[in-house]
Amino acid sequence: MALHIVAISAILGLNSAFAAVCHLEFEEAVCKDFAFSPEINLNSTANKLMIVDARGPITAQNLANLKAVTEVTVRNSTISEIEPGALCSSPNLTSISLVDNPTIPKIDKNTLKNCQRLKKLYLDGPEAAVENGAFAEVGNLQSLTLKEATLPSVLELATFQGLDSLRSLAIKYSRFDEIKEDAFNDLVNLKFLDLQSNGIKRLAPGTFRKLLELKVLNLADNRLKSLSWDEFRGLKSLRVLFLERNDFDSVDVKKLMDSVPGLERIFLSYDKLRPENIKEIDETLPKLNMTVIYTKRSAELIFQRRFRVIFEFNLCEGYGHGSLSVLFLVKPNETMAKEEEEDKLPDQDAAKEFYAKYEPKEILGRGISSTVRRCIEKETGKAFAAKIIDLSNDGGDGISAKEATKQEVAILRHVAGHHYIIELQDVFESPTFIFLVFELCKNGELFDYLTSVVTLSEKKTRYIMRQVLEGVAHIHSRGIVHRDLKPENILLDDNLNVKITDFGFAKKLAEGEQVHELCGTPGYLAPETLRCNMVEDAPGYSYEVDM
């Protein structure tokens, strides 16, 4: 054991007493399950450092000797205090990520003191409470992500003041009440602004007037009910605007074009708009070289808050002839689930078998008709992820949620037993709920991991891709085509090994069978899939769409 510790110590540059909790994963040092103390003096030769399941206060002394480290991630840790300037005490640090930490002090200007070199900051989790003025000393920041964060109730000039170098700002699933007209005034070089899923009800007319370089604006999944369309006036560089799944029922086409004449793509919800307005949009905007993309929520993803779209009939008739450029038109479904309500645990009488074996804990994610919770197996104390599917609103056209779930379970069992496929542990069924218990992948989606780390070395990329390809090869060897393979449907376990998940679109193929259904996620659809509804007598597709 002593030799093992010394070997790790030599590689990581850590003292031998501390090296026992650290290991090297490619170019990244991972230190797990330890308590910060004055004696902990990290001195890693790796460029990236991940701290997982740590406890206690972080001081400058803990991180000051990380001269080679440029990226630090603190995940799933209980941090009682952060000494002013400690996070940026490493001289070459350019990226900090604080992800899903159960306890962490408020983020204020002292937390980010001496962080002038910082280029990227990623804060994820409701315990990450940000105060106005917190970013006053990170003037060179280029990318800021605030996911599920607790922000000041009113976003104002002081919230993002001084961030004139910022290129990308994402605020998603976060808590605040109002955006003042001057909130984004200092973000003069911003090119990407993501405000998805924050419950925004209104925007002041001049909210974005200073964002002259902005190219992409995402306002999807909010509660915008009434738009004057002057809110977007002055966005001369804007090319893409996401407005789907809000509460407004019409688009003032003339005002939209007057406000953002350079707009190239706009995302809208087909089922929210009045029929006469849809007709006006389809007749007007494509003639101005604007692409209209209609979307509709229709199926939940395992472990995710994102939504995908099933394409239920042909693309619009004029597509490909130059006169009409509506790309994805999704058939409305009157039987789709109602807006999400507060998730409540099913009554114990409705799921006695599940409650007898597992104890449900906090929510990990939500879908249209399902909730994913962490749960503890009572006998062993081991943690799992339970997907709880509500069948109370099941019915309507097409396949029912109960039948779809049973089909997915059958496929999961058919491909089971491979290292890189999600393991289905248990299934419980009651008249109103189905419980699917999966292995728990604490590191979440590959998509979020890539967003967090920004860049991957070639060696680590090869490592991840080899696992994905081995998993896909196993799926195909069992006669299954996945049809929705993407970073959001690839989870990472404790050791950052991949687990392919979400087999909701998967299909078992007979030998030589070609399918023609157009289903999947916009942006990830294979050409062979699109061709089925664009070209008459298209030959169909099979396993190749997963590659």
> Which has the minimum average pLDDT: 39-43, 81-85, 225-229, 492-496?
39-43
Contact 506, 480 (CB under 8 A): yes
Contact 38, 49 (CB under 8 A): no
Give me the sign of the Cα torsion angle 229, 231, 235, 236. Answer: positive
Q: What burial class does residue 2 get, using C-beta atoms within 10 Å of its C-beta: 0-12 exposed, 13-18 middle, 19+ buried?
A: exposed
pLDDT, the chain, mean = 81
Distance CA 143, CA 47 (A): 19
φ/ψ of 67, rounded to 5, equals -70, -25
Q: What is the Rg, in whole angstroms, of the alpha carbon atoms belonging to the chain?
A: 25
Residue indicated by tokens 């994610």? 365
User: How confident is the model at residue 3, as a pLDDT?
Assistant: 27
Per-residue DSSP letters for 142-163?
A: -EEEEES-B--SEE-GGGSTT-
344 is in an annotated binding site: no
Distance CA 202, CA 195 (A): 13
pLDDT tens-digit readout, 307-365: 333 332 222 222 222 222 223 333 333 333 333 444 567 767 667 889 999 999 888 87
Look at residue 13 and tell me whether its pLDDT is greater than 50.
Answer: no
Contact 480, 508 (CB under 8 A): yes
Highest mean pLDDT among 18-22, 324-328, 371-375: 371-375
DSSP state at residue 233: T
Say which residue, 300 or 147, is predicted with more confidence.
147
Q: Which of 100, 108, 484, 502 is catalytic?
A: 484
Q: What burial class does residue 175 get, using C-beta atoms within 10 Å of its C-beta: 0-12 exposed, 13-18 middle, 19+ buried?
A: middle
Percentage, residues of the chain above pLDDT 70 = 83
User: How confident is the model at residue 337, as a pLDDT?
Assistant: 37
Collapse the DSSP code of 439 into the 3-class scheme (helix H, G, I; strand E, B; otherwise coil) and give the result.
Answer: strand
Contact 112, 89 (CB under 8 A): no
CA angle 442, 446, 449 (to 5 degrees): 75
φ/ψ of 80, rounded to 5, equals -80, -30
Exposure of 384 in the CB half-sphere (CA atoms within 13 A): 26
Catalytic, 493? Answer: no
> Which has the minimum average pLDDT: 163-172, 187-196, 292-301, 509-518?
292-301
Q: Write the CB contacts of 288 (distance below 8 Å, at least 6 apart in sequence).
A: 257
Distance CA 450, CA 79 (A): 24
Contact 42, 14 (CB under 8 A): yes
User: How confident is the model at residue 158, as a pLDDT?
Assistant: 93
pLDDT tens-digit readout, 142-178: 999 998 888 998 999 999 999 999 999 999 888 888 8
> Which has the minimum average pLDDT: 70-84, 270-284, 326-340, 393-407?
326-340
Contact 159, 132 (CB under 8 A): yes
DSSP run (H or E) holding 121: strand 120-124
Q: Which structural domains are found in the chain, ordered by start? A: 1-105 (no CATH), 348-439 (3.30.200.20), 446-546 (1.10.510.10)
Helix and strand counts by DSSP (H, E) for the chain = 10, 29
Closest CA to 475 of 431, 419, 421: 421
Mean pLDDT (whole number) for 209-214: 93
Percentage, residues of the chain above pLDDT 90 = 38
Look at residue 388 and tell me whether its pLDDT is greater than 50.
Answer: yes
pLDDT tens-digit readout, 417-464: 999 999 999 999 888 889 999 999 988 889 888 877 767 888 889 999
Q: Write the CB contacts of 119 (distance below 8 Å, at least 6 apart in sequence).
A: 94, 95, 140, 141, 142, 143
Collapse the DSSP code of 300 into the 3-class scheme (helix H, G, I; strand E, B; otherwise coil) and give the result.
Answer: strand
Distance CA 86, CA 79 (A): 13
Give the β-pairing of 95-99 and 78-82.
unpaired
